[in-house]
Structure 1
Amino acid sequence: MVLVAGSYERFIWGFSLKTLKPTSSQNPSGADDGGDGDGDGGGCILKPLFSYPSHTSSIKCVAVSGPVAVSGGADDAVKIYDLSSCSEIGSLTDQGGAVTAVAFYTPPAISFPRNLVTGSDGGVVSIYDADPFVHLKSVRRVHRRGAGVGDLTVHPSGRLALTVGRGDSSLAMVNLVRGRRSFVCRLDREASVVRYSAGGGDLFFMAAEERISVHNSEDAREVAELVAEKKVLCVAPALNNVLITGGEGRDVTAWDITSGKVAYSIKEAHSARVKGLVVLGGGNSGEASGGPHLLASAATDGVIRVWDARVVSGEKPPPHLTEAKTKSRLTCLAGSSIKFEKWCFCSMFWVIHSDTLSLSLSTGDLQLEPEPISLSSWQ
């Protein structure tokens, strides 16, 4: 299991979640008897993989699928990472503005992503083939009046994506097969987060301030509304009609979508705003099912914590299984529970810059960068 976090200080952080064998000094929940959660003797530990300033400005979003991770920053660039070798293998530019959202499409039968979709402050949604990273289409002016893309989510079928606008309070649908916007509609409140439900994507969620609206994916009809105590900043869909939320309240809350009530809540999960949530084990489409029901959270205090949802009770906050202190202002969190083999040692990727196409071949410590090829010469 891998966790990747981005920070305001331009740093990208990678951790591997390792399960430890229980000892006599541990309680059955896997946490230390002392409950300090420093990861030295708990049921699992976050092992650092890498950390370095990958962007020239703050990191706004991250996504992970199998052995690949990407991050989007305020420097108008998307960075690509090979998690098996813990190295950066390329970048995607010409995003039309600061990158505010990134999402992979991974078919359920494979552990490697097929497509990458990005959204920017300039209102551009870019579609890429993920093997290799070839630019397929840019859909411009997705939202009205030049509004930027606040967030996006890809349907488990990989055929369409939903985006919420930043500044125009709108919801847009992008046809990923044809590479164009299907429709756009105005919302009562500006949403900051949009996500499809885990599994088949029969529902989608939009978070606007402290309210989370639940909609049917077929006709966009609102079927439920969840009201949190404070502003919701991040959500993580889980199986069995459960939605995990976090935000200004510093709590991590699990909602039963069917009843619209709180299933359980981890009070004071962090000492600052919760900015990222990841469900590990049977969470998102394409990920391994049947694994332990682990939940990871990241906050602006720089701490990443892992929880076991099976031991959460309403009486008192459960001890976290492990934590990692980055001493950074974390802005986003992504992860994957897929067990992957070491990726190809020789990784090839295409990087598109306006009207030129450049091929970069990375083999170990050797990097070959031929002269850019003009696309006009292919016509």
Structure 2
Amino acid sequence: MATVVAGTYERFVFGYQLDGLPGSSGGGGGAPEVVRSFTLDAHLSSCKSVAAQGGFIASGGADDLIRVWHHNPDGGLADIGTLSGHEGNVSCMQFHGSDPTREPTRLVSGSVDGNIIIWSVGQWDALKTMKAHRGGVHALSVHRSGLVAMSAGADSHIAMWDMKKGRVAHKTKLKTKPELLAFTPSGNSYASVAGTRLTITSAETGTVSGVFDAPKRVMCMAQAGDDTLACLGLEGGDVFGYDSRAPPTKPAFTITKAHPTRVKCMVFPVDDAERGPVMGGPGGGPVCLVTGSSEGTVRLWDLRAVGASGGAAARARDMGVDDARDEPLAEATGGGRFTCMAVMPTQLPKTVVEAIGAEKDRDPAEMKKKRKEMKLRQAEKARERANATQPARQPQQKQRQQQQKPKQQQKQQKHQQKRVEKPDDDDEGFEVVAGDDDDDEPPRVAKTAGPAKKRKVKEASGVGEDGPLVPRKAGFKTGKKSGGGGVGGKSYEEIATAARRKGSGVKKGKPSRGFGKPSRD
């Protein structure tokens, strides 16, 4: 069984269960079915991208957020949380792991803000933010090795990234803006789509190995198996498959009128992560294909039953039918207007299942004891590291203390001199009065009778119990009325209150069209 995850314009994310896949090891010999298994109220606005692998499901929306769930084989869903780091629509995402039979370790996301963020799966920390393209990131693809990745942007560039260093290794500018981009299954080449043209380029040399022109604009792309076959969904509702070994004008297969409107997304179903899609279809590619469209329908296709020999084109030619169309194996209706799609096996990877089984068999008391021992070992290691670094720091600390002693002695002498009262014959200025009980108390200033001439005395600007919580900013002068920090005799609190009443000066955003104009009442 396989699970297909599809995002919609209406902010929802739907899950569909695929049963009875032709040639599948878990098909069970039953009739193929496409059944909706779950519905998620994912975002505040449209869902722009989805990714699924190893039980994890992620969706990116027009609300600049990424939502993450975990899907269990029994149909249960756990809401892991929300990731916020982008400042624009999250247009593309992909999970990556060193082994498809294990859980992924990274999530890579691209956004209209032009940035690519690498997230850690499990801790869900933003490990790296890379400035990728001006105007936004249209598509991204991570190599199976995890060492490099590629991205396509609104600046008409395709960038190759060094994922170890987190920087651009190479950039290529195209004549037209690339809208779709993906590494081939082997990783030796990559496929890019701009308008109606599909281009296959070598990832090592940069040479073009194939160019195919579709009859209409390409809306989505899928690849599987070897590097020879690429499947394209078109704006008119047709699906074309191109084989790099065949002439560019001759498609490997064609699904005529797969959907009444544009084909927005497609995937090759996978029910075994280790084995991958079931092969044996046209051009040596996969047997099955899943497509979704703007009218809210998900359809499952057997590619062996379509094409030039058994498809709508042959029936139309033999029977004279103009509006002939191919029939799917199964379909599910009632969904939203689909925008994106991802697929993963319903069953969790074997290594994950074994780890979960081993965890269940363990004694809770024993596990609690082991966790306590682990914390103690970590604390002991931390103390050892601290003790190992302390001897190296002691000589430096002693030198600093020896250097500070003369300065402290000089300060104490000056302080004692200031504590001596002035003689009676000098009545000018201020008299420094010493504290009665506490010798460490700072000097207090008391005014004495004398001429109008005054000496300026600088007060310590330390932060204490009676001092300000926020240090005074430079440029604020002492006012006469309040005695505190202010401008023109006004206190800092009065200025801040006036600023809040007046407003910050920033223009207020216009109300959304969905809420209408605010009333004057």
How high is the TM-score relative to the length of structure 2?
0.58
Partner of 1:307: 301
Partner of 2:95: 104
Partner of 1:151: 139
Partner of 1:371: none
Matched, 1:163 2:151: yes
Partner of 2:345: 337
State the Cα deviation string for residues 150-189 of structure 1 (Å, max 9, x = none): 11111111111111112x2111112222112223221111
| Correspondence list, 1:218-237, <5 A | 218-237=204-223
Conserved? CA contact 2:288–2:301, under 8 Å: yes
**Counterpart among 86, 110, 117 of residue 95 in structure 1:** 86
- The worse-fitting range, judged by mean Cα deviation, of 315-324 and 248-257 is 315-324
5+ residue gaps in structure 2? 280-285, 313-324, 357-521
Partner of 1:176: 163
Instruction: Give the letter for the 1:11 counterpart.
Output: F
**Counterpart among 176, 179, 188 of residue 202 in structure 1:** 188
Name the SS for the 1:249 alignment partner.
Answer: coil
1:336/1:293 Cα in 2 relative to 1: closer, same or farther (>3 Å)?
farther
Name the SS for the 1:50 alignment partner.
Answer: strand
- Number of paired residues? 322
Distance in 2, matches of 1:76 and 1:262, equals 39
Distance in 1, matches of 2:220 and 2:53, equals 19
Partner of 2:229: 242
Matched, 1:76 2:49: no
Distance in 2, matches of 1:177 and 1:286, equals 26
- The worse-fitting range, judged by mean Cα deviation, of 156-165 and 173-182 is 173-182
**Counterpart among 65, 90, 103 of residue 53 in structure 2:** 65
Partner of 1:322: 330
1:289 positional shift: 5.0
Instruction: Give the letter for the 1:64 counterpart.
Output: A
Q: Which is helix-richer, 1 or 2?
A: 2
Distance in 1, matches of 2:85 and 2:187, equals 30
1:91/1:98 Cα in 2 relative to 1: closer, same or farther (>3 Å)?
same
Distance in 1, matches of 2:31 and 2:169, equals 47
State the Cα deviation string for residues 236-276 of structure 1 (Å, max 9, x = none): 01214111110212111111022233100100000111111
Conserved? CA contact 1:277–1:296, under 8 Å: yes
Name the SS for the 1:56 alignment partner.
Answer: coil
1:112 positional shift: 1.6
Matched, 1:262 2:256: no
Instruction: Give the letter for the 2:233 counterpart.
Output: G
Instruction: Give the letter for the 1:212 counterpart.
Output: L
Conserved? CA contact 1:62–1:69, under 8 Å: yes
Distance in 1, matches of 2:334 and 2:103, equals 28
Partner of 1:364: none
Distance in 1, matches of 2:19 and 2:119, equals 32
Conserved? CA contact 2:23–2:278, under 8 Å: no
Instruction: Give the letter for the 2:330 counterpart.
Output: T
Instruction: Give the letter for the 1:135 counterpart.
Output: A
Conserved? CA contact 2:271–2:346, under 8 Å: no
**Counterpart among 182, 186, 193 of residue 173 in structure 2:** 186
Q: Which is strand-richer, 1 or 2?
A: 1
State the Cα deviation string for residues 100-143 of structure 1 (Å, max 9, x = none): 10011133352321211000101100011223323211102x12
1:294/1:339 Cα in 2 relative to 1: closer, same or farther (>3 Å)?
farther
Distance in 1, matches of 2:70 and 2:14, equals 13
Partner of 1:277: 266
1:87/1:6 Cα in 2 relative to 1: closer, same or farther (>3 Å)?
same
How high is the TM-score relative to the length of structure 1?
0.79
**Counterpart among 195, 203, 207 of residue 217 in structure 1:** 203
Conserved? CA contact 1:294–1:306, under 8 Å: yes
**Counterpart among 115, 120, 132 of residue 123 in structure 2:** 132
Partner of 2:34: 46
Name the SS for the 1:133 alignment partner.
Answer: coil
1:42 positional shift: 7.7
Distance in 2, matches of 1:228 and 1:282, equals 30
Distance in 2, matches of 1:16 and 1:6, equals 15
Distance in 2, matches of 1:308 and 1:335, equals 17
Q: Max radius of gyration: which structure?
A: 2
Distance in 2, matches of 1:327 and 1:80, equals 21
1:338 positional shift: 6.2
Name the SS for the 2:175 alignment partner.
Answer: coil
Conserved? CA contact 1:81–1:89, under 8 Å: yes
Distance in 2, matches of 1:185 and 1:96, equals 25
Distance in 1, matches of 2:292 and 2:275, equals 21
What is the aligned-residue RMSD (CA, Å)? 2.5
Conserved? CA contact 2:147–2:162, under 8 Å: yes
**Counterpart among 273, 289, 295 of residue 289 in structure 2:** 295
1:94/1:274 Cα in 2 relative to 1: closer, same or farther (>3 Å)?
same
Conserved? CA contact 1:239–1:282, under 8 Å: no
1:149/1:52 Cα in 2 relative to 1: closer, same or farther (>3 Å)?
same
Name the SS for the 1:280 alignment partner.
Answer: coil
Conserved? CA contact 1:162–1:171, under 8 Å: yes
1:106/1:257 Cα in 2 relative to 1: closer, same or farther (>3 Å)?
farther
1:94 positional shift: 1.3
Name the SS for the 2:252 alignment partner.
Answer: strand
